[in-house]
Amino acid sequence: MIKTYYVNLNDELKETTSPNDITEDKKWVWVDLNEPTKAESEVLVDYFDFHPLSIEDATLVLQRPKFKQYDDYQFIVFHALDLKTLESEEVDIFIGDGFIVTYHKVQFEEIDAIRRKLFYHTIHINEPKDILLNLLDEIVDNYFPFIYDIEDKVFNFEDRHNVDISTKSLIDDTFDLRQELLIIKRTVQPMKDLVYRMREGKVLHLNEQQLLYITHINDHLIKQMEMVDSSREMTSDIRDNYISLNSFKMNNIMKILTIYSVVFMPLTLIAGIYGMNFKNMPELNWHDGYYIVLIIMAVIALIMLAVFKKKKWF
């Protein structure tokens, strides 16, 4: 579907289907191609005459966030996050003097939000670069709910110390959380680099207010990356702590089992000696030999346990 919005010379905002339907002079035009058909995509060639490489990038290949300068326009790729899957959603933007074209193969809530604000006059738009910055701001701000949600999950791990949950379950949950953080970082980090290039490159020729706006957006991305990195460090610490705790428990178990084994070794030796079937074993004829041997075995065990206790081996 293709939608066209433009402002005429009387500063009236109007809507039509195709830019070819505009019959009056205009200050600027915004063409939004939402899940466009092949025929609708032809407007990129027939009306705007964009470079074939930029059209190929927009229509055929999933791109990383990037910025490319052409003769009379710039080609930009933004990534948003899907509300349900955390997968990246791409929106391709062509922007030049007096026009902006947004091309996306899925429905973009951020673009719908800009459209509503535009018609309700809740944002001030003087030129296409204002639409670009407002769209970028919407996309970046929508990263926050995902990051806050994961940050809450990380902090909730501290509350699970007092719950009888297996170490394996906690480790599995930690790895799942780190996977989500990695997915978000793959989106936020390239976007941060892109916005930095847009701000420092001076190619868009932003005015003072627009520079303040893009600096504000860049600050949000820096904060988001710091939150993601902090959460990754915390999950790494949690994982290492639980692995260390599990190793500590296993070492204690092995220590106790080793102590029992060492204590029973001399007792087993005595029992083995008197279990041999030789005829010339004088102790076998002792009337109280059985009780004497049991007492000796008990004394040996107690002495060994006392020595181990003194050495603080358990």
The sign of the torsion formed by the CA atoms of 90, 91, 95, 101 equals: positive
pLDDT at 164 over 70: no
Are 178 and 232 in contact, with CB atoms under 8 Å apart?
A: yes
The stretch 271-292 carries a mean pLDDT of 81
pLDDT tens digits for range 187-201: 888 989 988 888 887
Are 29 and 5 in contact, with CB atoms under 8 Å apart?
A: yes
Q: Give the total residue count for the chain.
A: 314
Considering the chain, what percentage of its residues have pLDDT values greater than 70? 96
Report the CATH number at residue 293.
Answer: 1.20.58.340
Report the CATH number at residue 33.
Answer: 3.30.460.20
Q: Give a yes or no: residue 103 inside a domain.
A: yes
Whole-number pLDDT of residue 158: 61
Domain boundary among 123, 158, 182: 123
Parent domain of 282: 252-310
Q: Give a yes or no: residue 86 inside a domain.
A: yes
Assign 222 a pLDDT band (cuts: 50, 70, 90): very high
DSSP string covering 156-171: HGGGGGGS---HHHHH
Q: Residue 270 contacts by C-beta under 8 Å, 6 or more apart in sequence?
A: 293, 296, 297, 300
Q: For residue 1, which of 23, 21, 22, 16 has the smallest C-alpha distance?
A: 16
pLDDT at 223 over 90: yes
Whole-number pLDDT of residue 219: 93
* Total domains in the fold of the chain: 2
d(CA 114, CA 104): 15
Assign 165 a pLDDT band (cuts: 50, 70, 90): low
Assign 289 a pLDDT band (cuts: 50, 70, 90): confident
Q: What's the pTM value of the predicted model, to 2 decimals?
A: 0.74
Q: Give a yes or no: residue 69 inside a domain.
A: yes
Q: Give a yes or no: residue 158 inside a domain.
A: no
pLDDT at 162 over 70: no
Q: How would you classify the pairing of strands 66-69 and 26-34?
A: unpaired
Whole-number pLDDT of residue 168: 66
The stretch 98-112 carries a mean pLDDT of 86
Average pLDDT of the chain, as a whole number: 84
Whole-number pLDDT of residue 177: 83
pLDDT tens digits for range 21-75: 777 888 888 898 888 888 888 888 888 888 888 888 888 777 888 888 888 889 9
pLDDT at 163 over 60: no
**Phi, psi (5° rounding) for residue 80?**
-105, 170
Are 37 and 18 in contact, with CB atoms under 8 Å apart?
A: no
